[in-house]
Amino acid sequence: MRRHRSSRRAARHEVLLLIARGLSTQEIADTLGISPNTVKSHSRSLFNKLGAHNRVQALAVAQERNLV
């Protein structure tokens, strides 16, 4: 069953905040109780939405937009 859109948005934001704290994919997965593949999926979605190609770019854009 797919998560509701707002739940996915909240999960992506939580992943973004944990990326900003410097956590690895595995550490984020352990913290949120999800699989590393789910973290990667959320990360890819974040990168697409922010127009970024990696974590550093995503964080720079997120900071410009006051998301973190």
For residue 4, how many other CB atoms are within 10 A of its CB? 9
Residue at 67: amino acid letter: L
Going along the chain from its start, the domains and CATH numbers come out as: 5-64 (1.10.10.10)
Contacts of 44 (CB under 8 A, 6+ apart): none
* Mean pLDDT per 10-residue section of the chain, whose length is 68 residues: 72 94 97 96 95 95 93
Is residue 59 within 8 Å of residue 47, measured between CB atoms? no
pTM for the full model? 0.84
Q: Tell me the three state secondary structure of residue 47.
A: helix
At 5 the pLDDT is 72
Exposure of 65 by Cβ count < 10 A (0-12 exposed, 13-18 middle, 19+ buried)?
A: exposed
